[in-house]
Amino acid sequence: MNPDVRELAAEYARALQGYLAGHGEAALQQAYEVGRQTLAKGLGVLDMATVQHWGLLRALAKSRTPQERSRALRAGQKLCVESLLPFEMAHRRVQEVNTALRDSEHRYRNLVDTARDVIYTLSSDGRLKTLNPVFETITGWSRTEWLGKAFAPLVYPDDLPRAAAMVQAVLAGQAPPMFELRILSRSGSYIPGEFMVTPQIHEGQIVGVLGVARDITDRQRADEALRHLNEALEEEIKRIAHALHDEAGQLLASVHIVLADIARELPTSSSQRLEEVRSLLNKIEEQLRHLSHELRPTILDDLGLQPALEFLADGVSKRTGLRISVAGTPGSRLPPATETALYRIVQEALTNVTRHAQAAHVAIAFSRNGHALCCSIQDDGAGFDVPTTRARRGQRGLGLMGIQERLNAVGGTLNIVSEPGRGTELLITVPVEATSADSHSARR
């Protein structure tokens, strides 16, 4: 017998003898302490049973009459309960932990089962281990058709290399950024999905991939609708710019001709005054031309973003007295949608500076960073509290929202760095290699 158990059994036997000798509560307490020590030594309930059994055998061996024996048995039962109580405390702890675990598992299950995003796990060899119910709703497949199978056939063939790279990255312990994949539905069409994947860890080892996928069909539709709307707006602006430039320009030209006629018929003294009118008209014509070019600069189409922005900056500078510098270069020509978006964004940013910032200087700077074009628009004006202002979006002020939406449509991002009294910087990045045409060709 384990020497610890032997020692505990001897102590327990003494407690039992003590109880039979009338020590009462002190003997019960002693039995309780034996239970505590048994637990403290890391022994289990079965060891406790051995201890009790031994102690009882000793007491029975010393009993001479049947009455003594039945007293010993009753005492044994009382002490048995006492010495088990420390184990009861430990047992209730385990029960509590288990209940908490079950509850948390239940909540997790609930979350997964009712989630509107697809939640799935992959084994390290790329097989689908789990899929939540919404997978069926979105794709039309039954889960049993895919569980245990490789995920690859679910992915649009062109997207497969990216999917495989992401799985490899996760298995190597990285946390890749969000990415998009097109997923085969039961009807044969492809559904655009946005994916977030993280390692699934079991006992410190990466055993697979935990992924969350969102159906972004609606978002892509909305983005597309917005793109159309912006295109329509551009057309309208073009029309107004032409009207300003051509029709108003024509009218002014006719006025010049009429004035020349009148000048011939008037005495020289009055024609001096007419000369003044003519020079004012020239100024108006110049302003109209400039405005129409800013509205829809043909330079943007003909020469590209940088000259167009310099032209814009020049015009704003002349009108408002702001000093505006343009540094760096956007590089080679970008897709028209991106160029237009950037032009409109800088235009709105400059409008905001003139209206809200009371700044002296604005610096516009471009830089290329791999597949990203970064553009910073920084003023030295009043600044503003960004979270508060963005929280009341929609109530008034469409400018910043418009900037954000234009960027969404071309896959770009906006970061506003501003604080009251510290000036404002808009940091914009747009992806410059992917043409916007191939990112929304899904669900054919």
Structure token pair of residue 421:
């009294």
Q: Does 225 engage in binding with other proteins (CB under 8 A)?
A: no
Q: Which is nearer to other proteins, 78 or 162 (CB)?
A: 78
CA 30 to chain centre: 61
Q: Does 101 engage in binding with other proteins (CB under 8 A)?
A: no
Closest CA to 118 of 128, 126, 105: 128
d(CA 135, CA 153): 15
Instruction: Tell which one of 400, 407, 430, 442 touches ligand ATP (CB under 6 A).
Output: 400
Q: Which is nearer to Mg ion, 133 or 399 (CB)?
A: 399
Q: Which is nearer to ligand ATP, 278 or 356 (CB)?
A: 356
Q: Does 397 engage in binding with ligand ATP (CB under 6 A)?
A: yes
Q: Does 402 engage in binding with Mg ion (CB under 5 A)?
A: no
Q: How far is the CB of 85 from other proteins (least distance, A)?
A: 5
d(CA 82, CA 76): 10
Q: Does 22 engage in binding with other proteins (CB under 8 A)?
A: no
Site string for other proteins, 242-281 (x = CB under 8 A): ----------------------------------------
Render the burial of 53-88: b for 16+ CB within 10 Å, e for the rest.
ebbbebbeeebeeeeeeeebeebbeebbebbbebbe
Instruction: Tell which one of 126, 399, 411, 431 touches Mg ion (CB under 5 A).
Output: 399
Question: What is the DSSP code string of 162-207?
Answer: HHHHHHHHHHTT--PPPEEEEEE-TTS-EEEEEEEEEEEEETTEEE
Q: Which is nearer to ligand ATP, 38 or 200 (CB)?
A: 38
d(CA 288, CA 315): 12
Q: Does 93 engage in binding with other proteins (CB under 8 A)?
A: yes
Between 66-114 and 25-40, two packed helices, what is the crossing angle to 10 degrees?
50
The amino acid present at 71, given as its one-letter code, is R
Q: Does 223 engage in binding with ligand ATP (CB under 6 A)?
A: no
Q: Does 431 engage in binding with Mg ion (CB under 5 A)?
A: no
Site for ligand ATP in 408-437 (CB under 6 A): 424
Name the one residue in this structure whose structure tokens are 């997964």: 112
Binding range to ligand ATP, per CB under 6 A, among 215-223, 287-295, 324-332, 378-386: 378-386
Instruction: Tell which one of 150, 233, 243, 398 touches ligand ATP (CB under 6 A).
Output: 398
Strand 361-369's sheet: what is its strand order?
323-327, 361-369, 372-379, 424-431, 413-418
d(CA 196, CA 180): 9
Query: Using alpha carbons only, how large is the chain's radius of gyration in Å?
Result: 41
Site string for ligand ATP, 337-356 (x = CB under 6 A): ---------------xx-xx
Binding site for Mg ion (CB under 5 A): 352, 399
Binding site for other proteins (CB under 8 A): 24-26, 28-29, 32, 36, 39-40, 78, 81-82, 85-86, 88-90, 92-93, 96
Binding site for ligand ATP (CB under 6 A): 352-353, 355-357, 379, 381-384, 389, 397-401, 424
